[in-house]
């Protein structure tokens, strides 16, 4: 538990809105944008889901009052996806509708494969009504090439990441060399046919490839951004921002940091090594 507490202090920006918005302001002073995530997932009862909705509605007011340009990120299982799909849709719609009125962008996070299609289905419904909503695609899934193709058709804003959940071989690529290759393939598709790709990786090889790709294809720095997790390789991403690239930090916060960190450590052995390594790598 002591290790989990140490990890939480390193990778979670506090328990409260005030602490998180302070962390966001410090990042902004270093040239880094933010997307804020109220910790929570896998909600099984409506009372807890409604508290999560209320927390995001309050956060939107806090962002506005602070004069911040932070985005927000949320998980559908936190908003009731495992309770009832329509119930979840209405919850998330309330958040996106308010965010739209306040000029704030909302990113729907991607979870494990039992939720992939349902997440995309709800995203497509919301995207028909709102422009201020984006989605996440995980590069290690075999289905992701088609998903990217379909999302590009509607001009969806996509955050591309490798993927952190443990998935079976029939659904997901297992070897890092193959995952990296697919990441590059999907990123190429997003740059050529998509709308403002968000390249979410801490992998130096993929960051270098993205910089080289953008330079070779004369893609301006304001047409894409890099994204990373709070507390991971902070100095490296500050350097990217100083070089003129758009960089956004994923800032999780709230009182549910214990299940958040335990889930990340339990899900895949690669996550344990990744976290331990990044305690010492800046």
Which residue numbers are catalytic? 109, 159
Cα-only R_g, the chain: 18
Token pair of 126 as six digits: 């919301």
Closest CA to 253 of 23, 6, 3, 1: 23
Distances, alpha carbon 100 to alpha carbons 53, 182, 236, 277, in Å: 15, 33, 32, 39
Please report which helix (H) or strand (E) contains residue 225, including its range: strand 225-229
């Amino acid at each position: 538990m002591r290790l989990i507490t140490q990890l939480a202090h390193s990778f979670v920006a506090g328990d409260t809105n005030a602490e998180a918005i302070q962390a966001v302001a410090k990042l902004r002073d270093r040239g880094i944008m933010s997307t804020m995530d109220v910790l929570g997932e896998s909600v099984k009862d409506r009372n807890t889901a409604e508290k999560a909705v209320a927390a995001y509605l309050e956060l939107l007011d806090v962002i506005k009052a602070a004069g911040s340009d932070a985005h927000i990120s949320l998980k559908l299982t936190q908003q009731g996806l495992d309770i009832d799909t329509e119930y979840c849709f209405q919850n998330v719609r309330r958040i996106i509708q308010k965010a739209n009125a306040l000029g704030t962008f909302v990113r729907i996070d991607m979870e494990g494969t039992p939720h992939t299609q349902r997440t995309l289905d709800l995203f497509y419904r919301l995207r028909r009504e709102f422009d201020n909503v984006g989605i996440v695609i995980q590069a290690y899934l075999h289905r992701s090439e088609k998903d990217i193709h379909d999302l590009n058709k509607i001009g969806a804003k996509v955050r591309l990441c490798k993927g952190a959940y443990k998935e079976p071989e029939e659904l997901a690529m297992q070897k890092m060399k193959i995952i990296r290759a697919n990441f590059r393939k999907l990123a190429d598709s997003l740059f050529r046919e998509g709308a403002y790709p968000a390249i979410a990786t801490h992998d130096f090889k993929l960051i270098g490839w993205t910089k080289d790709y953008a330079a070779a294809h004369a893609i301006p720095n304001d047409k894409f951004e890099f994204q990373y997790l709070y507390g991971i390789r902070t100095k490296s991403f500050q350097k990217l921002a100083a070089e003129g690239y758009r960089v956004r930090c994923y800032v999780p916060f709230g009182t549910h940091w214990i299940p958040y960190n335990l889930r990340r450590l339990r899900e895949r052995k690669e996550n344990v090594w990744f976290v331990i390594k990044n305690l010492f790598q800046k």
